[in-house]
Structure formats: C-alpha cells, structure tokens
Amino acid sequence: MKQKMSITLASMLALSLVVSACGNGSNGAESASPSSSPSSSASAPESSAPAQGPVEVTLAGWGSSPEEQQLLQQVLDEFQAKNPDVKVKYEVIADQYMDVIKTRLIGNEAPDVFYLDAFEAPALIDKDVLEPLDGYVTPEFDLNDFEAPTVNAFKGADGKIYGFPKDTSTLALFYNKKMFADAGITAPPATWDELQEVSEKLTKKNGSKVEVYGLGQAPELARQMFMIQAFGGKLVDDQGQAAFATPEGEQGLALVVDQHLKAQTAGQPSDVGSGWGGEMFGQQKAAMVLEGNWAIPFIQSNFPDVDFGTAEVPTVNGKKGTMAFTVAYVMNKNSAKKEAAWKLISYLTGKEGMKTWTSKGFALPTRKSVSAELGYDKDALRGALVAGSSYATPWQAGPTLPTVMNNFNNQFIAAYTGGSSLNEALATAQDTANKEIKAGQ
C-alpha cells in the first residue's frame, strides 16, 4: 500500500495551490481557474506556440516486471504510430512513488499523465490537483463499457471522474485440485458455511501443529473490507470517520478470526513460514486462498506442478462480495498540454490500447468488451476474477483511509492472533483512528 500523506505535506500542497492560483506562472493560473473548460484550458498553451513538431507529453508510473514494461512500451509505440502529433516521454519512478508525485505537484513539476492507485485517489482529488475528465469524454470512448466499480473509485464528491482505470484485479478463491480430490470434495465451496466445512476436511495436522491449512488468510483491511460489509457494516461514515466497530462489522470479521483461533482450519502465511498468500498456496501449505490475478502467473512460474482452479469468493450472509484493486491514468490539472494528454489517456484506457496492455494476462481489463474479446470472462482461471468485477468493493474509502487502515491493521492482527478480543480491538482501532483524523483536520 502507498504511504499516507503527512499533515505537513498536505499543508504544503494546499499552500502550493494557493500560490499557483494567484499567478505563479501562467500555466498554474489558467489551470486553477474554475471557469476554464477542458478544451479552453488545454488549447491555449498548445496553440499559442508555433508548430515545432509533435507535442511532448510526460507519463510517469512505477516499476514493474520486464515483461510488463515491454508490453507498456508496445502500447505507447502503437499510440504514437496512430498519433504522430504526440510524443510520449515515459518515466519510471522506482522508489517512493507517491512521495515523488506529491513533491512534484507541490513544485508544479509533475508529469502531464501519471498512474494513481484508487487507495490514494481521494486525497489528490480533494487537493484539486487533478483534471476532471468528464468534459473530454466522447460517445466513441464508450464510458458504459467500464466495470462501474472501477470508474467509481476515481469519482470525486462532486460526481466528476478524475481518472480512468487502466486495469484491475478482484479476489477469487484459488483451490488445490489434488487436495480437493484426495479429500473427496467435488466442487469449490459456494457459501461461507461450505468454505468452513471444506476447510476442516482439508486441514492437516501433525499432533497439535497444523502443516496444511484448509484456508490461507490475509488479516488486513485491504482483504477484509468486504467482510465488514457482509452483514451491513461500513468502514467509514459520511464524514470520513471510522465506523467499523459495530455489531454488523464485527459479525463479518468474526468469521475470519474464529476460523483461525477456534476452528484452527485457517491461518496466515507467517504461520507456516510463507511470505504471502500466493506463496503459501504454491508451497501447498494452504489448500485454498483468496488472491488476485497476480497470483496466477506467480504460481504457474514458481510452482508449475500445482494443479489449481479458481472460483468466485463464496457468498457471505447470502451476498456476493470481493475486493477490487485498480489503478487509473490521471491528468495533472496544471498540465499545459491537456488535449495531447487526453489523447494519451483515451488511447491507453480505450478498447484498442487496453486490449494490447492486458493481452498477456498480467492484469485484467476494466472494460467488459475487452474481457470478452480476450476471452477472460470464460477463461478457466480468470473467469471468476472477471465475474467479481461487477459487484466488487473498490479498495478505497475516502481521504481518511490511510489513517483508518493503519489503526485497523494494528488492532485486527492482535485479535487474529488472540492478543485481544475482536470487540476490544475494533473499538480501540476506531477510537484511535478518529482521534488522529480529528487532529489532522
């Protein structure tokens, strides 16, 4: 997860916006004007200069695998071949990505277009440093083709869209086919009650020591947010205050804690010496895990002998639920090249660019038509992940989420490991989070 913006940095960013709005450079003054339409604020800087070849647009993102870097370069090459009037200068920010982006925004040196995780989006939207994109959208862009949760993750309180998602992944149930067959289990569980039942059959112990857990768990908010909602709980209220310490929120989370402490048929990766859920599953120390699309190439590359399948996350309280993790391309509000920046964003998140970018299966499309064209909606391993996109809970809950997450994780792990009761842990986490939120206002 990205690090939380400090109070000092947030204050500096707000001050920077005031300075730029008061005329610290013509670009800042034009961009800060609320009366500027997307077309007028974009066209003035580009059209005022004599034609001197392609417009250079800067694009920044974080590092990824060599295979993904090559794929992105292919998409950019295809874009530039179709748009010779635009040249893309791509930069990888390898370390402290969000800190670098925020610092550059403060100094009015940020790229024209950059990656933004849904987790971080509300804070930047609130600071008014992103360009709203609604005014650039044409019917051909086909906004309704996106999975709604992935676009909603980048909407502001004003209802405007500040980014379009480049890719996504939900969580699905990964299960070991051989372990299922050996235990006489013919199908993956469809409900949480069934999950608990098959977990018991799949757990293997050597005396009091568990060698193979039926289910591998990740006791952190990013994986458990939908469990809070399963019985009607919510993470934060309308004012951004933590609100998860309720009977409804506790009811969903108790299913996670009790399966670990009471039934002892579920455990976290560190319980068996693994680093994360995908590794725990690949090492066959868990017969099932809830993981995302990223786990598929990892398991196939590192544990080729493991025969596994995927299924949608079992329903909880009769409701479908999962998480959605997504990243968008966003536009710097102070960019002097907005029309060219939009050309790039619309291609990268359009049907053609997204098809190339997601063609290898490293990430999943956020467009329904692209998933269908690539066959991911019917893919044996990715179909369950695609199916969850329409009802997933985005990993986002407003600008206070970093504070809420830190306090939740600190206390929930104590409850998960038996250091405190779940009720006490949630109450402490909520109270501490809200004190920190109030202090930062």
Q: What is the pLDDT of residue 64?
A: 86
Fold of 27-169+325-394: D-Maltodextrin-Binding Protein; domain 2 (3.40.190)
* 3.30.360.10, 3.30.200.210, 3.40.190.10, 1.10.40.60: CATH of 172-323+398-439: 3.40.190.10
Amino acid at 352: E
Separation CA 164–CA 272 (nearest Å): 39
Mean pLDDT of 42-69: 74
Separation CA 340–CA 132 (nearest Å): 15
Over residues 281-334, the pLDDT tens digits come to 999 999 999 999 999 999 999 999 999 999 999 999 999 999 999 999 999 999
The CA-based dihedral angle spanning residues 364, 369, 374, 378, taken in that order and rounded to the nearest 10 degrees: 80
What pLDDT band is residue 53 in, cutting at 50, 70 and 90?
confident
Separation CA 221–CA 397 (nearest Å): 11
- Number of helices (H) and strands (E), helices first, in the chain? 19, 13
Q: Which two tokens stand for residue 42?
A: 């974009």
Name residue, tokens 């990993």: 395
What is the distance of C-alpha 375 from the center of its chain? Answer: 23
Amino acid at 175: Y
In angstroms, the Cα distances linking 100 to 9, 121, 161 are: 12, 15, 23
Q: What is the pLDDT of residue 25?
A: 33
Q: What is the pLDDT of residue 32?
A: 28
Amino acid at 409: N
Percent of the chain with pLDDT over 90: 85
Separation CA 30–CA 51 (nearest Å): 21
What pLDDT band is residue 51 in, cutting at 50, 70 and 90?
low
What pLDDT band is residue 93 in, cutting at 50, 70 and 90?
very high
Q: Which two tokens stand for residue 242?
A: 């933590």
Closest CA to 170 of 383, 3, 10: 383
Asked whether the beta carbons of 355 and 365 are under 8 A apart, the reply is yes
Over residues 247-287, the pLDDT tens digits come to 999 999 999 999 999 999 999 999 999 999 999 999 999 99
Q: What is the mean pLDDT of the chain?
A: 89
Q: Is residue 399 predicted with pLDDT exceeding 90?
A: yes
Strands in 118-270 per DSSP E: 164-170, 172-176, 204-206, 209-212, 215-216, 266-267
User: What pTM, to 2 d.p., does this model score?
Assistant: 0.85
The distance between the two most distant Cα atoms of the chain, rounded to a whole number of Å, is 79
Q: Domains of the chain: which residue ranges?
A: 27-169+325-394, 172-323+398-439
CB neighbour list of residue 391: distance below 8 Å, 6 or more residues apart = 149, 320, 321, 322
